[in-house]
């Protein structure tokens, strides 16, 4: 819940106390109530001071800096019981890359909805390209050149790239049949793809593209509608490092074309790399604006949650040396790479990080270890005893649990209550004579809710209404309520806010300290290196190497991930 009565002056004070250069300019723009011209000229000066990298030798860009493409003034939006945005203001200039960060629930999604015309603000004005609106419609948003690239891609996998870019706007051949002019379609798509630096042709089927390439298609689509502001919503959350670099390159190319970008991400080091200015949202309010020179990880985190994160460091400190081998697999093969046998040992009391590029077979390996998929040959041993996994039920019965990658699809049942989700894998223990005992369910859930700090009105709350971080805690809770021996976590912190992330790191470490073997799959390099005791790296279906703590480095992980030897 937000505290709507808080004054923005408080943030000015906080920022100036941090002593970051230029931040007072950023905020004074908002708080000065003087004549409009004075305000504008000052904001111009401020902008010049702030955007260190802008190319002033290009006259078109200098001219365009005078008028922001988009500005929001005092936008407020309330939902039942929640103030989602509270007097938020922002200006986006042509060719400017704005990093937008904030915890989940800080108001980012609401802001996106307002910009996309999906919802109208209660009060405040939106000025797009000089025209003032009380609220946008979807058509107005598209018409004025605002384009979105969402975290979940909206491409038709069965169509090719060109057909996706121009879907619904295909060039037609003359004649009454209105057939699609395929040649022209490709000819139109090719230059767009070139602009985003794509290394694939317009007739490639989308299903054959990697995630980053699919995002390029989305951006090309945005360019095709002559977008002047591209909003990227968590574009890198599912991308491995190498692909992320490509995407950040595309953002720079957009910027060079004078297109503005709003880059929303939980991955702060990426924001650090591309943003000209970082806008931090907290509780629906502007927590602060960081100019280029003041953008760094710690500042952003400070503004986002107002305190420093020690949890990741804490998670990295293991309290005990790793114990005996818990789960050992020999020569198991997954359906994705049936010709690549995998050997892997996970020890009691350790967090084993499993890194690798997307598509390297990590999730498939996790599915086999959890019994969802069958292994093609190979053997499993749990605590030295042979193990046969015919289904996930077998894995669960043996204390091997999986927190899957896709929380909403496979992790929890959104329609069930928290208590029902937590008891589901262990329902017979919550029943008497095959009849479910609601009181036993509630008791288990209450304990987990307290232990994990699940924020919800009650354990009877529908899980679908919770935030991502709290949903993830419910997934963890259902396994923690049983006795885990091996805990596999597939991208456990994807798309959840930084506060909840820290809590999940703490939980993983607590599990390891209690002797559980923890296997954590992650594409977040900082996370893998920060949290793991050992790192196994996968490359094309095989473990290409295992790094001990002394050899942890981004470079080594990356080298192994592309199949080369580490230093």
Kindly state whether residue 397 participates in binding other proteins, applying the rule CB under 8 A.
yes
Q: Does 134 bind other proteins (CB under 8 A)?
A: no
**Does residue 83 touch other proteins according to CB under 8 A?**
yes
Contact between 335 and other proteins (CB under 8 A)? Answer: no
Per-residue tokens: 176? 């009454």
Choice between 84 and 227, CB closer to other proteins: 84
Residue 133 Cβ vs other proteins, minimum distance, rounded to whole Å: 20
Q: Quote the least distance from Cβ 83 to other proteins, whole Å.
A: 8
Find the binder of other proteins among 1, 5, 310, 567 (CB under 8 A). 5
Residue from 18, 253, 424, 546 in contact with other proteins (CB under 8 A): 424
Quick one: 86 or 527, whose CB is closer to other proteins?
Answer: 86
562 binds other proteins (CB under 8 A): no
Nearest Cα to Cα of residue 475 among 540, 528, 547, 404:
404
Measured between alpha carbons, how far is 411 from 429 in angstroms, rounded to an integer? 20
Q: Which C-beta is closer to other proteins: that of 81 or that of 457?
A: 81
414 binds other proteins (CB under 8 A): yes
Q: Which of 249, 425, 495, 515 lies at the binding interface for other proteins (CB under 8 A)? A: 425
DSSP 58-78: SHHHHHHTTS-SEEEEEEEEE
Q: Does 140 bind other proteins (CB under 8 A)?
A: no
Residue 428 in the binding site for other proteins (CB under 8 A):
yes
Under the binding rule (CB under 8 A), the answer on residue 49 touching other proteins is: no
Q: Which CB sits closer to other proteins, 61 or 422? A: 422
Q: Long-range contacts: 86-89, Cβ < 8 Å, 24+?
A: 86/2, 86/4, 86/283, 86/284, 86/285, 87/8, 87/124, 87/285, 88/124, 88/281, 88/284, 88/285, 88/286, 89/30, 89/286
Residues near 443 by Cβ (< 8 Å), separated by ≥ 6?
A: none
CA nearest to 30, candidates 53, 14, 7, 48: 7
Q: How far is the CB of 496 from other proteins (least distance, A)?
A: 18
Cβ within 8 Å of residue 549, ≥6 positions away? 533, 534
Instruction: Say how far apart CA 19 and CA 31 lie, in whole Å.
Output: 18
Which residue's CB is nearer to other proteins, number 213 or number 420? 420
- Give DSSP secondary structure letters for 3-18: -TT--THHHHHHHHHH
The pair of three-digit structure tokens given for residue 16, joined into one six-digit string: 């100036």
Q: Which of 405, 98, 432 is nearest to 251 (CA)?
A: 98
**Nearest one of 303, 12, 284 to 123, comparing CA atoms:** 284
Q: Does 18 bind other proteins (CB under 8 A)?
A: no
First to last CA, the chain: 48
Is 439 an interacting residue with respect to other proteins (CB under 8 A)?
Answer: no
Under rule CB under 8 A, residue 404 binds other proteins:
yes
427 near other proteins, rule: CB under 8 A: yes
Nearest to 30 by CA among 289, 212, 257: 289
Based on CB atoms, which residue is closest to other proteins, 62 or 429? Answer: 429
Interacting positions 366-395 with other proteins (CB under 8 A): 370, 372, 391-393, 395
Of 35, 81, 176, 321, which one interacts with other proteins (CB under 8 A)? 81
Write out the residues near other proteins by the rule CB under 8 A: 4-5, 76, 78-81, 83, 122, 370, 372, 391-393, 395-397, 402, 404, 409-416, 420, 424-425, 427-428, 431, 434-436, 478
């Amino acid at each position: 819940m937000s505290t709507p009565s808080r004054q923005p002056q408080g943030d000015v004070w906080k920022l100036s106390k941090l002593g970051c250069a230029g931040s007072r300019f950023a905020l004074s723009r908002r708080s000065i109530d003087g004549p409009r011209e004075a305000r504008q000229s000052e904001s111009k000066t401020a902008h010049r001071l702030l955007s260190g990298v802008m190319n002033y030798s290009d006259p078109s860009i200098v001219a365009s800096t005078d008028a922001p493409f988009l500005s929001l003034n005092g936008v407020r939006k309330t939902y039942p019981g929640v103030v989602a945005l509270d007097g938020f203001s922002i200006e986006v200039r042509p060719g400017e890359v704005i990093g937008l960060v904030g915890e989940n629930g800080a108001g980012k999604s609401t802001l996106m909805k307002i910009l996309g015309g999906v919802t109208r603000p209660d009060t405040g004005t939106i000025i797009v390209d000089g025209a003032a609106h009380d609220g946008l419609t979807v058509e107005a948003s598209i018409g004025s050149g605002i384009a979105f690239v969402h975290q979940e891609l909206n491409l038709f996998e069965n169509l090719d790239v060109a057909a996706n870019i121009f879907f619904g706007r295909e060039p037609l051949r003359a004649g009454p049949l209105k057939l699609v002019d395929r040649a022209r379609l490709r000819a139109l798509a090719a230059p767009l793809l070139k602009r985003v630096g794509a290394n694939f042709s317009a007739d490639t089927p989308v299903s054959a593209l990697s995630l980053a390439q699919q995002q390029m298609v989305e951006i090309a689509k945005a360019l095709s509608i002559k977008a002047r502001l591209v909003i990227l919503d968590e574009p890198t959350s599912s991308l491995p490092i190498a692909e992320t670099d490509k995407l950040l390159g595309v953002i720079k190319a957009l910027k060079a074309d004078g297109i503005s970008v709003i880059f929303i991400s939980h991955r702060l080091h990426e924001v650090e790399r591309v943003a000209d200015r970082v806008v931090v949202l907290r509780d629906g309010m502007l927590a602060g604006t960081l100019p280029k020179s003041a953008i760094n990880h710690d500042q952003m985190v400070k503004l986002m949650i107002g305190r420093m994160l020690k949890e990741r460091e804490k998670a990295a400190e293991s309290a005990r040396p790793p114990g005996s081998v818990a789960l050992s697999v020999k020569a198991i093969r997954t359906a994705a790479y049936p010709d690549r046998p995998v050997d892997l040992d996970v020890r009691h009391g350790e967090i084993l990080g499993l890194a690798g590029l997307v598509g390297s077979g990590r999730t498939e390996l996790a599915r086999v270890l959890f019994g969802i998929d069958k292994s093609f040959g190979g053997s499993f041993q749990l605590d030295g005893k042979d193990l046969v996994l015919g289904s996930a039920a077998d894995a669960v019965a043996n204390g091997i649990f999986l927190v899957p990658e896709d929380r909403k699809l496979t992790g929890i049942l959104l329609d069930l209550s928290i208590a029902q989700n937590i008891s589901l894998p262990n329902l017979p223990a919550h029943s008497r004579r095959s009849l479910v005992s609601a009181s036993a369910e509630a008791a288990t859930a209450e304990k987990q809710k307290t232990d994990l700090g699940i924020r919800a009105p009650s354990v009877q709350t529908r899980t679908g209404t919770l935030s991502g971080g709290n949903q993830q805690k419910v997934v963890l809770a259902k396994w923690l309520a049983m006795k885990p021996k091996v805990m596999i976590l597939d991208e456990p912190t994807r798309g959840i806010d930084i506060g909840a992330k820290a809590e999940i790191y703490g939980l993983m470490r607590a599990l390891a300290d209690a002797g559980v073997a923890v296997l954590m799959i992650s594409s977040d390099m900082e996370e893998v290196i920060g949290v793991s005791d050992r790192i196994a790296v996968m490359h094309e279906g095989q473990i290409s190497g295992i790094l001990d703590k002394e050899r942890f480095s981004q470079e080594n992980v990356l080298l192994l991930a592309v199949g080369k030897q580490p230093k």
